[in-house]
Each structure stands twice: as C-alpha cells, then as structure tokens.
Amino acid sequence: MIPLFHLRNTTNRHYFLYNKRFFINARIKWVRDPYLDKAVEREKNLKPLISLKNLILSHPSQTLPLSTASPLKPNLHLPTTVEKFIQNYPLIFKTFLPPNKSNSLPHIKLTHKALAIHHNENLILNFSHYRKDVAERLAKLLMLSRVGKLPLFIIEMFKYDLGLPHDYILTLLLEFPDYFQICDMGFRDSNGDLVFGLELVSWRDYLAVSEMEKTVIGEGKSGRGIKYLMNLPRGFDLEKRVSTWVNEWQNLPYISPYENAFHLTSNGDHAEKWTVGLIHEVLSLLVSKKTERDNLFCLGEFLGFQQTRVKKALVHFPGIFYVSNKIRTQTVVLREAYRKNQLLEMHPLMAMRNRYISLMNLVLRKGRPFRAGMTAHRKKSAPSRIRRKFDGNTVTRSDEDD
C-alpha cells in the first residue's frame, strides 16, 4: 500500500530557486461575459429542485406531505416557500389529496414527465462505468489535499457539482471500499462536535495526472512548459504591462496540483501558478466545470490558503476563469470548457439536468405546456410544437438544445 503522504515533492526542482517573482501592481477590470452568465443563469433553481425531487422519491410512496416539506425550506435551499416553488414548476411537481382519507392534507408528487427523466437519470447513475468515473473524480479531489482526506461538509459542498449520488455515503462508499473510508478529522466544529471526513485508502499514481498534463500528453508533447488557454471575452484588453507579465507567467514551469508545492513563497508567481493549477483541476473534475466561489474558498481554507490567495488567482487570470454574479451568488466558470454558453463536452448527467431545465422553463396555459418568455409572434404555433416534443414519456434531444 502506498502511503497517503505520497504527494510528489518539488523542493529540489529548479524553479524553487526563482519563486521570488511577484505579480505587478496593476488593476484588472472585471468584464461581463453574457454567454457564461447565461450558462450559469439557465440553471437557476435547478439544484434545490433536484434536492426536493430526491426528497420526495426517498419516501416509500414517492409522495410527500406538503406540511412535512415546508419546514425543510432552508435545508433544501429553496428561494421561496415550498408551495410557491412547486407552483412555479407545474410540469415537474404536482399537488394532490390522497384518496380514501378523510381530512387529508395536500401531498406532493412528481409528474409523469419528471419521473421519466428521473428514471433515465438513475440509469446513468447506476452504470458501472459512471460509478467508477465518479469514484475516481472524488478520489482525485481527496488527492489534491495534503493529507488525502477532506471533511464531509466540504464533500457535501461539491456533491452536486461532482455528480455524486444523493446517497453516496450508503452506496458509492460501500461499493469502493478500496478507495474510501470514513475517518475522524481530529478537530471539532463550532458546536463542539467531532468532524468526520472522507479519507483515501491509498495513493494512486495513475490518478495523479492533471487535466493540463493529459492535454499535453494527448498532443504528444513533454516537459513542464504547459501553458493555459486564455479566452478573454470580446472587448477585454489587458494593459500592456499586464499582458507582458501574463506572457512571462505562462512561461514559468508548470507545477502539478498533485505535487506538494507548499514550500513556495505564498505570494510569489510560482505559487500563484500552482494555485491556478489547483483551481483549474478542481473545476475540471466537476460535471458542469463550474462551482460557487465560496466552495473554492472553503476548500482553500482547509488546504491552508488565505482567502485572498484564491481570490487573487481568480482576479489575475480572467482569461482562465470567469466569475459570474448571477443567481444570487458568485459562480466560478472554467472558460476553456465552454463555447459561448454551451459545454464543449456534455457530461451524461448534464444532459439529464438539461432535460429538467427544459421542463422548468415550461408552464401550463389552458392545460397545455407553454414555454415561458416566448415572444408573441411564436405563441400561436407553440402548443403543437411542444406536443411533438412531449410525445410519449421521454424528452427528445430538442429539449437539451433549448
């Protein structure tokens, strides 16, 4: 068994001697990217919707009393009351009164269309190659820490973005006992309770290859001269001195995020390049190639970074990362993973989530599905078009494109 502290050490690398170079004192402006904003905004309320969906289906009857769901609004992170939330999505949730019961209270269940998508989603989650893939991505996240383990509360933060099953502790962990084990983190939370975490059973060298390194290997190149793609939005111009600095920064040796580079001067350029590589790798592990900025802050804090170190890495390199202010939070997006507002590589789970989004964007008008926000000149032909899309119980490919 290879010990967990098998992080590749960079102490004797030649670039250790040159870690005194610092970022120039220049202000880099934030420029809005409407395409990436749209990619973030289209998933508004999707995460709480899936949480509520999973809660309903976790009950044996696959229904839930409305009175039971209402107090759980904070846990589900719903933006409004449960009653109003389900009313906003009539093609996904349905309220009803249980039959043959006097004085019965309203219950919630999923519509047939939502259930059909859920069943397709479950098929993906249960594929052996998918479960192996998600286990390896979770293992890589653990390997990015210096000790091969992370608190469960951090795993929960990334659970949705990693595409983990909602019951991963009872399913995925038991399926891969040679990968993971629950551990005591050795400290207590603010309430004085022990903090438990997820620990990697053993280091796996074949997983300790970053996405940046895979790209270079795929192109038949070698060496440490790895450069990041810089996709600056239209209308964005760097000052000449900043542009010169970025070009010089690109030529610095690449340090894998799976290497132990904590010996580098924390505010030096080499350390910043390693920090950028760490954030880049975390985003690459996620199914949508984006996550809330606070998740990165929390992970960085556990790894021993000051919050400013992560923030500077995001601000200094707008060609690598985009920070969107949509949907009541700040979301960090990996630019190279998108062409305009579309993912270049559609993960199977994201294809299912797009189907939920398509249903979310439909409302009922006179008992017929109708796409919200449709312009007046398209309204007349809407019902027949949508009926074709919802012929039967499955959602067609056209829903993913809307």
- Residue 233 contacts by C-beta under 8 Å, 6 or more apart in sequence? 31, 32, 33, 322
- Residue 203 contacts by C-beta under 8 Å, 6 or more apart in sequence? 2, 3, 4, 6, 143, 148
Q: What pLDDT sits at residue 96?
A: 92
Measure CA 217 to chain center.
25
For the residues of 165-210, what is the DSSP string, one character each?
-TTTTTTHHHH-TTTEEEEEEEEE-TTSPEEEEEEESS--GGG---
CA distance 338 to 315: 19
Residue 220: pLDDT band (50, 70, 90) is low
Residue 10: pLDDT band (50, 70, 90) is very low
Helix (H, G, I), strand (E, B), or coil: what is residue 89?
A: coil
Range of weakest confidence among 75-84, 108-117, 372-381: 372-381
Calculate what percentage of the chain has a pLDDT beyond 70. Answer: 81
Beta strands 290-292 and 331-334, pairing class: antiparallel
pTM of structure = 0.84
Cβ-in-10-Å burial (0-12, 13-18, 19+) of 189 comes to: exposed
Whether pLDDT at 25 is above 70:
no
Q: What pLDDT sits at residue 379?
A: 43
Nearest CA to 10 out of 273, 282, 256 is that of 256
Measure CA 361 to chain center.
21
